Structure 1
């Protein structure tokens, strides 16, 4: 790590701790004692007031109510942040509606040469959602469901929530919030009916925490899920090509079980309700997206039937 980068990182590191020692810094940054001492002297010269205590357990602390100097980004860090903003243009993501002001602030702290580099990157890079005829287009068309951010904020406090839709309310424990085919969904355990449900977030009308007297212990929820969880009825094998497709569009509730040290083959197991037609349709489309590198080892008969019908229909659409 370059000295300037190390000092900036070290300043943030020690500012987040009430107390630290030279040995901690030596271990964390993999540098010698003399290097740590020189860096601490530099940090003090930059205006961060440190106090030292002597003795066997002596160390350093930052004086209370003191502020760090303004954060400085090097050229590579600025590029990384700017490209991250570009890559998420026109994408349904929470917390990004203020990206215009974030981008303006980012460019404002850059030097003239850095600004030129950022504008050049904007012209060069073309992502999935970039307008190739007008790569300078900066108008944001982000749209996220109205309840997505309230849902995420509520989950930061408790994952036991009451989710309300036009058809009623459900008391649930949130397992995942995921995006699929440009739509956001919540994967949750219904605490009343004791089964997993998936709800489209754009169908939610209200999100509220469960009242304190109805909150369940996490262990009780885990036990109920384990008791009710059915055995996987879908099993796939994936080669390297299918694994890459999976990374681009992973299954929302299943994880890959890699079969080799180089992660070139994997197994995926999940549960599919054979009576839920929408689940069958969604899974069949996702399976076809994985490509020829994905092979079904086990699956419910309705899913196999649907896949055969889809394949036959696709064959009839091919030109003679």
Structure 2
């Protein structure tokens, strides 16, 4: 049996037991105690965290079982992993950014030359572009871990009204348009609100949670329901159609006519008006709002605010 195969077998054995003696490995694999100690040193050099306990009843303890045994990938599987890495390339911050870079380096180093050439070509000819944000999100990983561990947080949050203290329960994080968002239950307002993760100035403290909240997947599903239904009716030029078809929240609502123009005539949630108003303001003459009146009023107020900054000279 090759040394590599023997090391893999021992790695699987000690990872399962966590506590073991050299004699146990010697008996299991029919090798000498001296060889066992040499193999344990090799595993330690490979990164397996093993602690040696001294004394008559001493032995070894695997401090962590999180080191995975070797996984054999086909060439196409390895290339597909780099394809997935490409989708994350334009995000400034990721929850496990250092680990992703480390995994990518280890995987690339293990590839044969032909596979490396495929990966290099992949990275040169395809990417998943998102606007590269200069805004840092240093607490992204902390927030995600709090959600996974079902913890409540007390945070300092920066908003239009200044920096305030929030008592929240995060239910997850998601990325959109280069930014990270966190739906969280606000204990003061007794409802789930949406927060920008980059606007979390600091986490004051965390606490154990005993209540049951929805998770991110459940929140997305329930969020599609229109809690305050309102009709959105918009007439679109060709350019208006093109831009609305590029918006994930609107693309399925656009109806295109034979001449390339189109319209939206659908029921949405009233709470979405503030999120979609910047798009229609930007479209200007390419989108005419028929209803709701609330969206027209938002656009009129935005136009007035801009005009007030540039008064006409007498």
Q: What is the match of residue 147 of structure 1?
A: 139
How many pairs were matched up? Answer: 216
Q: What is the match of residue 31 of structure 2?
A: none
- For residues 266 and 75 of structure 1, do their structure 2 counterparts lie closer, same or farther at Cα, with a shift above 3 Å needed? farther
Q: What is the match of residue 53 of structure 1?
A: none
Q: Is the 8 A contact 1:171 1:190 kept in 2?
A: yes
- For residues 128 and 160 of structure 1, do their structure 2 counterparts lie closer, same or farther at Cα, with a shift above 3 Å needed? same
Q: Which runs of 5+ in 1 are unaligned?
A: 1-64, 132-140, 260-264, 274-278, 314-320
Out of 279, 285, 292, the position equivalent to 1:286 is 279
Aligned equivalents of 1:236 and 1:304: distance in 2? Answer: 15
Q: Given the alignment of the two structures, is residue 303 of structure 1 paired with residue 302 of structure 2, yes or no? A: no
Aligned equivalents of 1:130 and 1:117: distance in 2? Answer: 26
TM alignment of 1:199-210, pairs within 5 A: 199-204=195-200, 205-206=202-203, 208-210=205-207
Out of 231, 252, 256, the position equivalent to 2:228 is 231
Q: Is the 8 A contact 2:150 2:208 kept in 1?
A: no
Q: Given the alignment of the two structures, is residue 80 of structure 1 paired with residue 80 of structure 2, yes or no? A: yes
Q: What is the match of residue 103 of structure 2?
A: 102
Q: Which runs of 5+ in 2 are unaligned?
A: 1-64, 256-263, 309-314
Q: Is the 8 A contact 2:135 2:198 kept in 1?
A: no
Aligned equivalents of 1:290 and 1:94: distance in 2? Answer: 35
- For residues 218 and 258 of structure 1, do their structure 2 counterparts lie closer, same or farther at Cα, with a shift above 3 Å needed? farther
SS at match of 2:156: strand
Aligned equivalents of 1:118 and 1:149: distance in 2? Answer: 28
What's the Cα RMSD here? Answer: 4.9
TM-score for both structures, normalised by structure 2? 0.50
Query: After superposition, what is the alpha-carbon deviation per residue over 1:269-291, rounded to whole angstroms, capped at 9, x for unaligned?
Result: 22339xxxxx84x5322346799
Aligned equivalents of 1:241 and 1:69: distance in 2? Answer: 49
Q: Is the 8 A contact 1:284 1:306 kept in 2?
A: no
TM-score for both structures, normalised by structure 1? 0.49
Q: What is the match of residue 258 of structure 2?
A: none
Q: Is the 8 A contact 1:177 1:186 kept in 2?
A: yes
Q: Given the alignment of the two structures, is residue 188 of structure 1 paired with residue 188 of structure 2, yes or no? A: no
Task: Give the strand-richer structure, 1 or 2.
Answer: 2
Aligned equivalents of 2:208 and 2:87: distance in 1? Answer: 40
Q: What is the match of residue 45 of structure 1?
A: none
Q: Could you say which structure has the larger radius of gyration?
A: 2
- For residues 305 and 68 of structure 1, do their structure 2 counterparts lie closer, same or farther at Cα, with a shift above 3 Å needed? closer
Aligned equivalents of 1:168 and 1:310: distance in 2? Answer: 26
Q: What is the match of residue 22 of structure 1?
A: none
Distance apart, 1:115 and its partner CA: 1.0
Q: Given the alignment of the two structures, is residue 113 of structure 1 paired with residue 105 of structure 2, yes or no? A: no
Aligned equivalents of 2:307 and 2:230: distance in 1? Answer: 24
SS at match of 2:173: strand
